[in-house]
Structure 1
Amino acid sequence: MENNSTLRLDRTDIEILKLLQQNARMTNKELAAKLDLTITPIYERVKRLEKTKVIRQYVALIDADKTGKGLMALCMLRLEKHTKDKLAQFEDHISKIPEVTECYHLAGQYDYHLKILVKDMNAFQDFIVNKLSTNQNLTNIQSSFVMKKITDTTAIPL
């Protein structure tokens, strides 16, 4: 059974997505030239991919080190209570903290995995004490610090 949210993508759609993942500023004219098509079908395909939310948004990828946010921490969290209200309250709290750039609800030993970007260890301590630990349902935080990025991409394998 096919997932209703999955759109059938043909080879041309996939090539458009690959090219846009490499350079989201590529114009329809440039896409058409790369794919040996005319501009109109490319335009229509891109609009369909946007309308169906296959393409959710276009963004600029920024180097965290160059913006003074060079310390990346990965935090694994456990909550005390797992009721629907407590989970929603925690997720609402986390979604309002700008240092949290990614948050995943997990199955397994931990309940959540966070990616945190801050300036330095002092900023991380401030984050833990004054932002993360203020949630009363939090029972355990285990943090690891990234020493080196081996792979770092936002591209979806197609």
Structure 2
Amino acid sequence: MPKNPPDRVKPLDETDLALVRLLEQDGRMSNAMLAREVGIAESTCLVRVRSLRERGVVRGIHADVDPVAVGRPVEAMIAVRFGGHRRSHFEQFTEEVPQLPGVLGAYHVSGAIDYYVHVATESADALRDFVLDHLTNRPGVLHAETSLIFESLRGRGTMTRPDDEGGPEEEREERA
């Protein structure tokens, strides 16, 4: 499937943008609350949110789990560089690595590095084993360099505007 199918690039109107903004702030917000916040009928809201999901605008609703709380306190970003750049190596990497236990994200990037792999492991030993067992022995991988993450800071999201001070509650108060 192409990365930007024609359906996906269909422009979002103000109602769609408002729905995306609210879902980004609270993905568990009910359809009734979303409809009320945006000022549309619940049935219309349901259709619009379904369309946003089908078009890939809203890719999913996820729990933000603290790795430390689930026994994976060692986080790292691993820079992976390929040699030869064979398509089959990239395709295999892209399909398999995000499915490995402990992988929080994998990013195909430009420049000297081909991928960054964000992982959370139980220990430094487990991190070393992950790199050796799952990355450096992979076809085409020339080099892997591990950087420990000392602190992770979350951004405000893609839809938060510079003038947005608070979450949905403050926005509701402002509209009232």
Shorter-chain TM-score: which interval? 0.7 to 0.9
Query: Which letter does structure 2 place at the counterpart of 1:72?
Result: E
Aligned residue for 2:88, secondary structure, equals helix
1:109-128 maps to which residues of 2 (within 5 A)?
A: 109-128=112-131
Shift of 1:3: 7.7
The CA distance in 2 between the partners of 1:30 and 1:136, in whole Å, is: 50
Gaps of at least 5 residues in structure 2 are 161-176
Residue 75 (structure 1) aligned with residue 78 (structure 2): yes
How far does the alpha carbon of each residue in 1:120-143 deviate from its partner, in whole angstroms, 9 at most, with x for none?
A: 211111212222222142221111
Question: Number of matched residues?
Answer: 156
The CA distance in 2 between the partners of 1:32 and 1:101, in whole Å, is: 32
The CA distance in 2 between the partners of 1:27 and 1:145, in whole Å, is: 38
Query: Which letter does structure 1 place at the counterpart of 2:158?
Result: I
Gaps of at least 5 residues in structure 1 are none
Q: Which residue of 1 aligns with 2:67?
A: 64
Return the TM-score normalized by structure 2: 0.78
The CA distance in 2 between the partners of 1:64 and 1:154, in whole Å, is: 20
Change (3 A) 1:39 1:95: closer
Return the TM-score normalized by structure 1: 0.86
Change (3 A) 1:33 1:95: closer
The CA distance in 2 between the partners of 1:102 and 1:44, in whole Å, is: 30
Aligned residue for 1:116, secondary structure, equals strand
CA RMSD of aligned residues (A): 2.2
Shift of 1:154: 8.0
The CA distance in 2 between the partners of 1:117 and 1:32, in whole Å, is: 37
Identity between Structure 1 and Structure 2 (%): 24
The CA distance in 2 between the partners of 1:7 and 1:148, in whole Å, is: 38
